[in-house]
Amino acid sequence: MNGSSRDALLFVGPRDVAIVAERVAAPGSGELLVETVVSAISPGTELLVYRGEAPSGVALDTSIDGMQSAARFPLKYGYATVGRVVALGPGVDEGWRGRLAFCLHPHESRFLARADELYPVPEGLAAEQAALYPSVETAMTLVMDGRPMIGEHVAVFGQGIIGLMVTAQLARFPLASLVTFDLHPLRRRLSRELGADDAVDPRREPSAAEGRDCDLVYELSGDPATLDDAIAITGFCGRVVIGSWYGERAAPVALGGAFHRSRMRLISSQVSTIDPALSGRWSKQRRRDAAWDLLTLIAPARLVTHRFPFAAAPDAYALLDRHPEEAVQVLLTYDA
């Protein structure tokens, strides 16, 4: 096998993506060639890249090979690809041939990977479900960092795909209450279906947050101004977990008044690392196994609102950018 061709998604500039043709080398020693079946667009981080709002001086992702450089156009980005192994390089176990596997890899119709970069998809799990693995794993990290306890009052701002996955996991705890906030009716409906006791429109029902004395609050809206709202409803010695990546956007945060005496904790959370307090018992492999189990239990493919053929990827990004009220999770599909 002397190599083949592929189509790859390239972020050319702000709100400008293109599908380009490239050559792919034959798999070398220790490499596998993967034919992509489906990939998921991250409506949070990827939209920052799409809009040109990712910080230019910060690596895209220090934990993923090929993404350790800053966000400068043109670039490839993406980390939720599922495909089937179609060719093996020298030294690769024959058992990989034909396997369905997940990879933290940009949107491409085929790609080379090492065996240790591929996550075998558990038997019985569809490719579309497996493409949502990063969302479930990220939500699991957020939940673990928040340390929810029995009988606590918990709130979640933002019910995009990550917020919904956090809600789905928190709903399995014996909490006193679980309330979510989102601007869009579709997301509020899905939030209730996943177990929220109430899902509130923060614009039309501003009084809904008043008087709340939450033990634990998650800020997952992606809007830096929402952090003030999260702080405002957090009680004495409460925790605010900040899972949003704001990119280059900034907003003043009101840390005077009640906050000064509140002893609340503001916690940054991101999936690339495990809290050192937990890492003695929780390896990345253990977290990965638990995330696969949760993926099966939650069945998040019901949150997929749109599927676009890979050639129409520019339309997919435009939809997420311009009509967030219509889209939750968007998938790109690839012809076999």
Q: For the segment 179-196, what is each residue's pLDDT rounded down to a tens digit?
A: 999 999 999 999 999 999
pLDDT at 256: 82
Total count of domains within the chain:
2
Which CATH number characterizes residue 146's domain?
A: 3.40.50.720
pLDDT at 261: 87
- pLDDT of residue 149 exceeding 60, the answer is yes
* Residue spans of beta strands (DSSP E) within the chain: 4-13, 16-24, 31-41, 81-88, 100-103, 110-114, 118-120, 153-157, 177-181, 198-200, 214-219, 234-242, 265-268, 304-309, 329-333
Residue 70 lies in a domain: yes
273: in domain? no
| Residue-level pLDDT at 247 | 84
- Over residues 280-306, the mean pLDDT reads 94
CB count, 10 Å around CB of 84? 18
pLDDT at 100 over 70: yes
Position 64 confidence tier, pLDDT thresholds 50, 70, 90:
low
268, 285, 311 - which closes a domain = 268
- In a domain, residue 310? The reply is yes
Residue 156: its pLDDT value, please? 97
pLDDT band of 61, cuts 50, 70, 90: low
- 168 or 205: whose pLDDT is higher? 168
Q: Are residues 107 and 185 in the same domain?
A: no
262-292 pLDDT, tens digit per residue, is 999 999 998 999 999 999 999 999 999 999 9
Among 253, 268, 283, identify where a domain stops.
268
What does the block give as tokens for 171?
Answer: 């709903």
Q: Which domain holds residue 225?
A: 139-268
Phi, psi of 83 (to 5 degrees): -150, 180
63 pLDDT band, cuts 50/70/90, is low
Whether 1 has a pLDDT exceeding 60, the answer reads no
Show the tokens assigned to 225. 């101004």
In this model, does residue 294 exceed pLDDT 50? Answer: yes
Evaluate if residue 208 carries a pLDDT over 70: no
157 plus 251 within the same structural domain: yes
pLDDT at 209: 52
288 in a structural domain: no
pLDDT for the residue numbered 195: 97
Whether the pLDDT of residue 223 is over 70: the answer is: yes
Reference 291, options 267, 271, 270, 269; nearest CA is: 271
Classify residue 306: in a domain, yes or no: yes
Instruction: Give the integer Cα–Cα distance in Å for 62 and 60.
Output: 7
Which has the minimum average pLDDT: 27-31, 44-48, 330-334? 44-48
Q: Which residues of 111-147 are buried (b: 16+ CB within 10 A; e: fewer)?
A: bbbbbebbbebeeebebbbbbbbbbbbbbbbbbbbbe
Least reliable range by pLDDT among 50-54, 68-72, 211-215, 313-317: 68-72
Average pLDDT, the chain: 92
Tell me the CATH number at 69: 3.90.180.10
Q: Which of 268, 284, 312 is the last residue of a domain?
A: 268
Q: Is residue 278 part of a domain?
A: no
Give the mean model confidence (pLDDT) for residues 233-255: 89
Mean pLDDT for the stretch of residues 161-169: 98
Mapped onto helix, strand or coil, the DSSP state of residue 241 is strand
Q: Is 226 left (phi over 0), alpha (psi -120 to 50) or beta?
A: alpha
Does the pLDDT of residue 206 top 50, yes or no?
no
Distance of alpha carbon 267 from alpha carbon 145, whole angstroms: 8
177 pLDDT above the threshold of 80: yes
111-115, 245-249, 262-266: which is most confident: 111-115
Q: Once rounded to an integer, what is the mean pLDDT over residues 73-95?
A: 97
Q: Are the beta carbons of 332 and 309 closer than 8 angstroms?
A: yes
- At residue 236, the pLDDT reads 94
Of 178, 168, 175, 172, give the one whose Cα is nearest residue 150.
175
**Residue 62: pLDDT above 60?**
no
Position 8: which residue type? A
Neighbours of 57 (CB within 10 A): 7
Predicted pLDDT of residue 257: 79
- For residues 239 and 324, membership in a common domain is answered with no
Residue range 310-327: mean pLDDT, rounded: 97
CA distances from 321 to 61, 106, 184, 306 (A): 22, 19, 14, 14
